[in-house]
Each structure stands twice: as C-alpha cells, then as structure tokens.
Amino acid sequence: MAGTREQQGGNVRLLDTIDDAEHGALEAVRKFLDTVDETFPALSDDRPRRRIIDSAFKMTEELVSASNRAAQNILDVTGKALSEAERKSAAAVK
C-alpha cells in the first residue's frame, strides 16, 4: 500500500509541475502580446496584429496540449511499471 501512496504523491507532483509549465506558457504569450501591442503602431486595419495574436494563442494551445499528452503517457507508463513491480514483489513474498 505504501507504494500506492508514493505513486499517487509522484503523480500529484508531476501534475503540479505540468500545471506550472502551462501557466508559464500562458504568461509568455501574455508578455508577447504586450510586446506586439507596444511595438506595432495603432493600425486602422487590425488584421495583421490579429493574425499574430491568433497564431500565438494557437501555438500555446498546441504546446500545452503536447505537454498534457506527454504527462499522461508518463503517468500511464509509470503506473503500469509500479503495478507490475508490486505484483512481482507480492508474488516473491509468497
């Protein structure tokens, strides 16, 4: 049972780390958008700026999505490995 608690604690730490990375990515986009707004003059045609902003958000969504998929895969593999190790350990004790 201790292995299960350790596994859950590791999962929580990993998810917290990913959450921090997601917030960091979103903050980077906010800073980027502030720079775009400060750098480009006010344009009567706002389409070029809108394209840059839309592209930045799409990029961030893709990065966060990839991060989430990677984390889920790591958790799945780790969980399976720990379960297998616990099963083998329990079988060895018998």
pTM for the model: 0.53
Q: Given this model, what pLDDT does residue 2 score?
A: 46
For residues 13 and 11, what is the distance between their CA atoms, to the nearest angstrom?
Answer: 5
For residues 33 and 52, what is the distance between their CA atoms, to the nearest angstrom?
Answer: 9
The encoded tokens of residue 72 equal 């889920």
**Spans of the chain below 70 pLDDT:** 1-8, 41-45, 94
Q: Given this model, what pLDDT does residue 44 score?
A: 66
Q: Given this model, what pLDDT does residue 1 score?
A: 43
Q: How many CB atoms lie within 10 A of CB 81?
A: 11
